[in-house]
Every structure is written in structure tokens, then in C-alpha cells.
Amino acid sequence: MDKTSYDVVVAGAGMSGSLAAAMAAKGGAKVLLLDRNEKREVGKKTNWGWVCGDAVASAHLDFINSMTGITFDFPELDHKVDGVVAISPDLKSRFRFDGQGYLLNRPIFEAKLLELAIKNGVDYLQKFEVEAPIIENNFVAGITGKDEKAQHAEIRAKVVIDALGIATTLRRKLPENPYVDRVVDIDDVESTGRFLYEAEMDHEDLNYYDTKNALIHLNQELAPGGYGWVFPKKGRKVNIGLGIQKRSLDIRNEKLGRKDNLHSLMEAYAKMLPVFKSLTPVEEGPNGSKGYWSVAVRHQLESLVFNGYMGAGDSMAMPNPISAGGIGPALVAGILAGRDAAEAVSNGDVSMAGLWKYNLDFNDSYGKKTAGLEVFRIYLQSLNNEVINYGMKNFLSSNEAISISYGNTPELSLAAKFKMVLKGATNIGAFTNLVYAVNEMKKLNSIYDKYPKDPSTFKAWKGLVAEEITEVKERFKPNPI
């Protein structure tokens, strides 16, 4: 094989890409991993840096360890936390999610994933700008782009794995097809900002800063359609961020007569955190201190494969629809995509049917809960602060909320709850809506339990998913204030 033809080309050396390449090479394939970044800046998402909240649950790291043997420690695991705590707008209710986890030093973590790929025999091509897939006979047969001298280049592959993140230039340029969507609805995307600071403390208040927990502030005025976060890092370093839905922000601005944007909301959020005397921007290696980027918070694309093509991570809208946590699914997907790509190459069938196993594997390992979680996100975005305060206090126990965050659907012991709700008559509608949302989650979970075993029944199945999500979106409109 020459340098312009591979079994597997992995485009994008972020969280999902490096692992996909490592696993494909481990499976015996000849693999090229390429990225616009120089090797020393591997995984950098944009010119802003490795923009991320950096939080990941231990369970995901355990999964990588079990599949690759790689172990992690300080410095890539920058700081350990007991979990993620979601706090109501009035600060009176708290739900703890996700179990033990870590705040990563992303630049170091991603360098370690690349090291694993190279150790497994992967070629790494830096400073390569991916522009489009090569399409031949309705198959993806490679990629085109610009090499480090800005010269047009074509690289051929039996399978292309798209790990380019949310702004992928590959998925968007696939041929029109009923399997892999080329466009993601803007209402399903959170615009996010992330600031890294060194904090000087004024006083302790676990509602605003907790070295043992990653805090999430639900507040529709502060972060319309999303949430704010304060994640502790090593020493007094802190990762502060905010995610918003554009539509919710517009509605909130109009109702309040304001002209806020993500940047002004971020600045206001950092200033309102009373526990800090001062916040000084810091850089994490070459990671910039302030940055903005986007996260899709819908169910992952229904099919992750096309002829000669697979996708993993943000390119396939994999982040958790409620928490926007995308590191875990990107790591899981990278591992499964790489392994299944190598298997398809060795079986001599890289058609959509030959690659379909990856759809099933990802659905089993992670994907089948995300459509349900999207329903819950849409429901949450329809609630104002008053209802969120009331609901977190009265509607759900902590265990029920945790169960929902894992994509399960608790029995809500309706009779008992209705008695409670009747005390606050104005919230009966919101509670009825919660019951409806949980039922829709159940319906979607059962649709995903019957994920098509091969492409032949996929279109009808995808129609069922679309029908449910459309119904939920019709019922719940963003209503932040």
C-alpha cells in the first residue's frame, strides 16, 4: 500500500478519532489518522483551544481500559470528583448524577490517546485540512483535502471514519440518503462558552463551588435552554461555562427587553458567583483560557454508517441530550467504530450492510437511551424557573431523577404525587407534562430496543422515531421565563 491508500482513514484525531484508529490498527487494518492539528496540539477543537467542561465519568475510562489496556492517572486526570450535582434556580434542591468521575487535562489526555494509536501502528498525518468525501458509485471511497503545503490531496480508503466533531465536513457532504442525516436542527444544538480561571476564594458556599463535585446551575434566565457549570480542577483552578439554546435565548431576551448574547451571559455568570473574590484567566498548556463552541443535544444520528463510511462522537450528535456530556460516548463510539471497521475490512464487505454491526454495537452500549433523554431535554426547556424549582422539590425524588439521567423511566407513583401537586394547583399542568414526557421516553426506549438488525427495515423504523420526537416538540415549546 502507498501513502495515499489505506484500509481505514480516520478523519479527526479528537476523543473518538484516536481511539477509532488505535482499535482499527489493533484489528489488523492499515490505518491513517489525520487532523488539521500539529501533533503537539492533538485534539484541539478550534483556535479557541480544547474547549470543554472536561468532566468524564469513571465508568467510561474503565470501558477504555477494558478494551485497550490503557490506564490513566495524574496529570491527564487532573482532579477527581464524587459526581455531578444539578442545583435548582432557587438553590434549594440538588440532584447528584453520574457517580465518580474526573476533570481531565484534555491536552495531555488526548496526547495519550494518540500515543496509543501510534503504538498500535497507525500513521498520523498532521496539518491536513479535510474538505470532502470522495464519492464513487454511492460509496465513500476516501477523502479530499489540503495537505500542509495547502496542496490539494486525495487519500483513498476502504472505510472512512468521520471523527471531525460537530462541524464535520464529511457527513454534511454525503450524497443525499435516507440513512445518515446531513443536517442537524439548530434547536437541537447548544451554544457553549468555557472559561478557565485561577480562583481566589472569598468564602465557602457549596452551592457555587465544591472541590468534591461538578456543579450545574439550572436557571432559565442565566442560561436559557441550558445550564451554567462550575467544575473544580486541580488546586484553585476552575472550569466555568454556560450552554444556551439560541431559540430560548431569543425568547428570554424579548420577554426581558434585553440584548444578551452568550458572551455577555458568560461574563455575568462568572461575576455572579459570590464565592470568588477574583477569577484570573489561566491557560492549560496551549489550551486557551476562554473559548466558544457548540454541542448537539439530540439523539445520535439514527444510522452511524453509510457505504464505506462510519461516524463517531460529535460528528454523529452523540453527546448526552440532558448533560451535553460527549466525551464518554465519543470514547465508546471510537472504540467500537475502529474495531468494527477492521472486522468489515477483513470480511471484505464495507457496504452499509457490512458496516451495520457498528450501529447495533453502539446502540447496545450507549445509544439506545439517548432518544428518551432528548424527550426529557425538550420537556426541561419548556419550564420556567418557578416550575423547575417546584418540580425539583416536589415532582421527582433524587433517585427518580438519577434514573432518568441514565435513560431509564421511573414509575412516578402518580397518586401520591398528585396529592402533592394539588397543593400547588398552578403546577398540575407541569406535572401532567412530566408524566407525558416519561411515557414518551418509555415509547422511544422500546423503539430503540427494536433497532433494525439490518438496513432493510431501517426507513420505517426511523419514521417511528421521527414521529415521536415531532409529537414531543409540538407539545413542548421553549418557554424560559
* 354 is a site residue for ligand FAD (CB under 6 A): no
Grid coordinates representing 229 are 457549570
String of contacts with ligand FAD for each residue 30-49, x by CB under 6 A: -----xxx-----xxx----
* 17 is a site residue for ligand FAD (CB under 6 A): yes
Interface pick for ligand FAD out of 7, 54, 76, 361 (rule CB under 6 A): 54
Interface pick for ligand FAD out of 52, 180, 297, 402 (rule CB under 6 A): 52
Q: Which stretch binds ligand FAD (CB under 6 A): 164-172, 181-189, 353-361, 464-472?
A: 164-172
Q: Comparing C-alpha atoms, which of 237, 226, 243 is closest to residue 292?
A: 243
Question: Which residues pair with residue 300 across a beta bridge?
Answer: none
* 327 is a site residue for ligand FAD (CB under 6 A): yes
Interface pick for ligand FAD out of 64, 122, 164, 230 (rule CB under 6 A): 164
Separation CA 301–CA 311 (nearest Å): 9
* 142 is a site residue for ligand FAD (CB under 6 A): no
Q: Which stretch binds ligand FAD (CB under 6 A): 6-14, 198-206, 344-352, 431-439?
A: 6-14
Residue whose cell numbers read 477569577: 279
Identify the H or E element spanning 279.
Answer: strand 276-281
Q: How far is the CB of 465 from ligand FAD (least distance, A)?
A: 21
Q: Which pairing describes strands 290-296 and 237-245: parallel, antiparallel, or unpaired? A: unpaired
Q: How far is the CB of 347 from ligand FAD (least distance, A)?
A: 26
192 within 8 A of 242, measured Cβ to Cβ = yes
Interface pick for ligand FAD out of 8, 22, 29, 51 (rule CB under 6 A): 51
Going from the C-alpha of 169 to that of each of 12, 43, 131, 166, 423, the distances in angstroms are 11, 17, 6, 9, 53
Q: How far is the CB of 223 from ligand FAD (least distance, A)?
A: 12
Which positions ≥6 away from 426 have C-beta within 8 Å?
none
Does a cis peptide bond (omega within 30 degrees of 0) precede residue 75? yes
* 191 is a site residue for ligand FAD (CB under 6 A): no
162 within 8 A of 181, measured Cβ to Cβ = no
Question: 355: burial class by Cβ within 10 Å (0-12, 13-18, 19+)?
Answer: buried
Task: Give, as ranges, the residues between 217 and 246 that touch ligand FAD (CB under 6 A).
Answer: 241
String of contacts with ligand FAD for each residue 274-313, x by CB under 6 A: -------------------x-x-----------------x
Separation CA 32–CA 155 (nearest Å): 9
List residues near ligand FAD by CB under 6 A: 12-17, 35-37, 43-45, 51-56, 128-130, 163-165, 167, 169, 192, 194, 241, 293, 295, 313-314, 319, 324-328, 330
